Amino acid sequence: MKRHPTTSRQLLETQDFGFSLIELLFVIAIAAIFAAMAAPSFRDFIAGQRIKTASYDISYALTGARSEAIKRNLNVVLAPVSGNWQNGWTVTTGATTIAQHEPFVDLTITGPAAGLTYNSSGRLAAAVAPFAISSSVSAGAAPRCVLVDLSGLPSSKAGAC
């Protein structure tokens, strides 16, 4: 016959600490269900952040190319690598490469086919098509549009162009 514990020390000696295997499996199953429910929206979130980052990178490149044209008092060209903006872009003046950007993965970026040329006053040589950025992986991620006015200043907005 087991005796009833009378002191706190005896009480601690009679208790079991920790989790049983069934309790552990139950908690893991619930965590797996929650993770499965959150995965699609997390994928859309990541794709949306990539789209936003790409639009900011394009805006910064446009602003930087405009600034370099004014500073150097030369024409500066922002052009896609291999004719595709997803492959990145280069900023050049004559034969000198000022900057270049790496390719984007899982994004679709459309923009001016020939690139942009800023003249020495920081203005564009001609009107250009806007940059449309969307995800090629997640249809739930909102696209973004980067517009460039004739003065050469870029602006970014959520939504299609």
Q: What is d(CA 130, CA 120) in angstroms, rounded to the nearest whole number? A: 22
Parallel/antiparallel/unpaired status of strands 131-135 and 107-110:
antiparallel
Any idea which of 10-19, 22-31, 70-79, 87-96 has the lowest mean pLDDT?
A: 10-19
pLDDT, mean of residues 113-133 = 91
Q: Is residue 6 part of a domain?
A: no
Q: Is residue 120 part of a domain?
A: yes
- Residues 57/101, Cβ–Cβ less than 8 Å: yes
- Residues 121/151, Cβ–Cβ less than 8 Å: no
pLDDT, mean of residues 123-139 = 90
Q: Is residue 8 part of a domain?
A: no
Any idea which of 11-20, 50-59, 65-74, 92-101 has the lowest mean pLDDT?
A: 11-20
16 token code pair: 């079991």
CATH code for the domain in which residue 50 is found = 3.55.40.10
161 three-state secondary structure: coil
- pLDDT > 80? residue 132: yes
Instruction: Tell me what percent of the residues of the chain surpass a pLDDT of 90.
Output: 60
Q: What is d(CA 39, CA 41) in angstroms, rounded to the nearest whole number? A: 6
Q: Is residue 79 part of a domain?
A: yes
Q: Is residue 48 part of a domain?
A: yes
Q: Is residue 110 part of a domain?
A: yes
Q: Is residue 9 part of a domain?
A: no
Q: Report the C-alpha dihedral over residues 107, 108, 114, 115, rounded to 10 degrees.
A: -40
Predicted confidence at residue 31, as pLDDT, reads 92
Q: What is the 3-class SS of 15-49, one letter each residue? A: CCCCCCHHHHHHHHHHHHHHHHHHHHHHHHHHHHH
The count of domains in the chain is: 1
pLDDT averaged over every residue in the chain: 88
DSSP summary character for residue 52: H
90 three-state secondary structure: strand
Full residue range of the structural domain in which residue 52 is found? 17-158
Predicted confidence at residue 20, as pLDDT, reads 86
Residue 85 C-alpha from the chain's centroid? 15
H or E element: which one contains 147? strand 144-148
The structure tokens 């490149």 sit at 61
69-116 pLDDT, tens digit each: 999 999 999 999 998 999 999 999 989 999 999 999 899 999 998 889
pLDDT, mean of residues 46-50 = 92
Q: Is residue 11 part of a domain?
A: no
- pLDDT > 60? residue 2: no
